[in-house]
């Protein structure tokens, strides 16, 4: 019994789950496989959010559709800010590519790191986790899962559970007075799949964060008659092109007329609620489930990954995200090291003190810049605990800050900017077609050498890339 390998379940094979797989796969290549590993993934392929589906609502098995991504989605931040430190874009594509690739290209990159490894053998696809319980007597988790095509259920025990099921899937859908009288289409960003159908329509997006900004921009690109973004707290505040404007909160809706709290009103054909997502883990009992708002330092997680009330359970990717893939890597490396005993878990009171200290720093965040800085410090702290390859976090923070400025300068042109990789030093290649003119988002078109620099904005090289 003493020498038996620990059993570990990873729930979800999105980027976070795949990165957790990578940590054990790396150990295996180094000649050791310290655990018995199973990854349970409800979709038929890996990639999580990046695994696009045309479906909305329920899937072919009646399960809630996971991905909130849309056909024409392009990276909303520079790829240089998320690059894996142990697998560069240059290595994957064999050439320099632009800083803001479309969804298909990023999926290819994420999958590419595991493609030539044994990682996939650990994943049970089309298998949804139904329930997780912890038994105090045996100190093990029971994980009940269902193989969706056959309906076969399975109950297994594990020493550790890594929750990597994402938190941008269950819509936060508020009400609005009179919305039941609205005759156009009402939806949430989770179900948005493409803006072509919004051509010539007057669109209202509710919210003032990434989804409102990007879905509004997609609609503008595809020829919407107008785009209005309604904010609750602060406007997004960019210099929007003609036909794109911001208004405060909705007061009430009367048929196709939307009234705002500043006394103005507007004819609207379609409303998309871009009002964020809930932390929802329907397979977890309350004592194991993270809840609360989408923040860069959720309550109850030591070093952002260890469930304080039961430190045999971990969450990867549970934070709001500036850093993404490189942060998930740092988290996954640390989780692996805790599981295999390379890193030592402090006692409960020490962990509580650390959580309190980070939460105090989190409460002091008062601007976008300090939030980015905070997340950079968080990733740095994790990296110090592991042997994940070092990368220049200060430079990534500076890339994020330039990105924020780029959007202020030209919200419809920021994706044409180029940054320098902090991993390889390579400067991104300017994409052959400006984002606003590019209507083909396929991998093939993106990687083709066709050059069309005659149209669109020419923003040039950013200062950090020089």
Interacting residues with ligand NA7 (CB under 6 A): 76, 168, 172, 174, 189, 206-211, 232-233, 274-276, 294, 321
Q: Is 76 in the site for ligand FAD (CB under 6 A)?
A: yes
Q: Is 77 in the site for ligand FAD (CB under 6 A)?
A: yes
Among 23, 226, 321, 375, interactor with ligand FAD by CB under 6 A:
321
Which stretch, 38-46, 247-255, 286-294, 303-311, contacts ligand FAD (CB under 6 A)?
38-46
Angle subtended at Cα 194 by Cα 410 and Cα 434, rounded to the nearest 5 degrees: 35
**Binding partner at 172 among ligand FAD, ligand NA7, none, C-beta below 5 to 8 Å by kind:** ligand NA7
- Which residues lie closer than 8 Å to 412 by C-beta, 6 or more apart? 217, 220, 221, 241, 435, 436, 457
Strand-pair category, 6-11 with 35-40: parallel
Q: Is 78 in the site for ligand FAD (CB under 6 A)?
A: no
Smallest distance from the beta carbon of 197 to ligand FAD, in angstroms? 18
The Cα 238–Cα 413 span in angstroms is: 12
Show the binding pattern over residues 48-67: x = contacts ligand FAD (CB under 6 A), - = does not: xxx---------------x-
Smallest distance from the beta carbon of 157 to ligand NA7, in angstroms? 34
Smallest distance from the beta carbon of 462 to ligand NA7, in angstroms? 21
Among residue numbers 164 through 203, which ones bind ligand FAD (CB under 6 A)? 164-166, 168
Smallest distance from the beta carbon of 167 to ligand NA7, in angstroms? 9
Q: 76 or 88: whose CB is closer to ligand NA7?
A: 76
Contact indicator for 290, 315 with CB cutoff of 8 Å: yes
Strand-pair category, 170-171 with 265-267: unpaired
Among residue numbers 13 through 32, which ones bind ligand FAD (CB under 6 A)? 13-17
Q: Is 128 in the site for ligand FAD (CB under 6 A)?
A: yes
Q: 258 or 375: whose CB is closer to ligand FAD?
A: 375
Q: Is 275 in the site for ligand FAD (CB under 6 A)?
A: no
Q: Is 69 in the site for ligand FAD (CB under 6 A)?
A: yes
Smallest distance from the beta carbon of 263 to ligand FAD, in angstroms? 33
Q: Is 102 in the site for ligand FAD (CB under 6 A)?
A: no
Q: Is 324 in the site for ligand FAD (CB under 6 A)?
A: yes
* CB neighbours of residue 387 within 10 Å: 10
Q: 103 or 113: whose CB is closer to ligand NA7?
A: 103
Strand-pair category, 265-267 with 270-273: unpaired
CA atoms within 13 A on the CB side of 283: 23
Which stretch, 39-47, 86-94, 291-299, 458-466, contacts ligand FAD (CB under 6 A)?
39-47
* CB neighbours of residue 52 within 10 Å: 16
Q: What are 444's two structure tokens?
A: 């093939």
Q: Is 12 in the site for ligand FAD (CB under 6 A)?
A: yes
Residues in contact with ligand FAD by the rule CB under 6 A: 11-17, 40-43, 48-50, 66, 68-69, 73, 75-77, 82, 128-129, 164-166, 168, 283, 317, 321, 324
């Amino acid at each position: 019994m003493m020498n038996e390998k620990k059993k570990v379940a990873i729930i979800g094979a999105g980027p976070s789950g795949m990165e957790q797989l990578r940590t054990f796969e790396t150990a295996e290549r180094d000649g050791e496989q310290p655990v018995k590993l199973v990854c349970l993934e409800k979709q038929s392929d890996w990639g999580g959010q990046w695994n696009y589906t045309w479906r909305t609502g329920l899937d072919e098995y009646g399960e809630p559709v996971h991905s909130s991504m849309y056909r024409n989605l392009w990276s909303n931040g520079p790829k240089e800010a998320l690059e894996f430190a142990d697998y560069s874009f240059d290595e994957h594509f064999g050439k320099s590519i632009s800083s803001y690739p479309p969804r298909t290209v990023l999926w290819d990159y994420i999958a590419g790191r595991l493609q030539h490894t044994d990682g996939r053998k650990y994943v049970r696809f089309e298998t949804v986790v139904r329930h997780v319980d912890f038994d105090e007597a045996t100190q093990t988790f029971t994980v009940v899962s269902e193989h969706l095509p056959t309906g076969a259920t399975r109950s297994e025990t594990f020493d550790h559970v890594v929750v990597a099921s994402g938190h941008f899937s269950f819509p936060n859908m508020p009400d609005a007075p009179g919305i039941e009288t609205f005759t156009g289409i009402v939806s949430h960003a989770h179900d948005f799949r493409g803006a072509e159908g919004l051509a010539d329509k007057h669109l209202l997006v509710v919210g003032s964060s990434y989804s409102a900004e990007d879905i509004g921009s997609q609609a503008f690109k595809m020829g919407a008659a107008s785009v209005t973004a309604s904010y609750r707290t602060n406007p997004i505040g960019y210099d929007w092109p003609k036909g794109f404007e911001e208004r405060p909160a909705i007061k009430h809706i009367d048929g196709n007329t939307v009234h705002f709290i500043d006394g103005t009103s507007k004819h609207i054909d379609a409303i998309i609620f871009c009002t964020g997502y809930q932390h929802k883990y329907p397979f977890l009992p309350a004592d194991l489930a993270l809840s609360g708002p989408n923040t860069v330092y959720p309550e109850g997680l030591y070093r952002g990954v260890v469930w304080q009330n039961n430190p045999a359970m971990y969450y990867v990717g549970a934070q709001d995200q500036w850093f993404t893939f490189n942060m998930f890597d740092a988290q996954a490396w640390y989780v692996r090291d805790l599981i295999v005993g390379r890193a030592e878990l402090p006692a409960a009171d020490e962990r509580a003190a650390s959580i309190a200290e980070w939460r105090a720093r989190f409460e002091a965040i008062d601007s976008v810049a300090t939030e980015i800085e905070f997340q950079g410090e968080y990733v740095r702290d994790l990296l110090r605990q592991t042997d994940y390859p070092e990368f220049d976090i200060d430079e990534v923070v500076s890339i994020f800050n330039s990105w924020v400025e780029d959007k202020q300068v030209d919200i419809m042109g920021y994706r044409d900017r180029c940054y320098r990789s902090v991993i390889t030093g390579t400067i991104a290649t300017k994409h052959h077609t400006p984002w606003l003119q590019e209507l083909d988002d396929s991998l093939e078109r993106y990687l083709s050498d066709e050059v069309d620099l005659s149209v669109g904005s020419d923003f040039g090289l950013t200062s950090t890339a020089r």
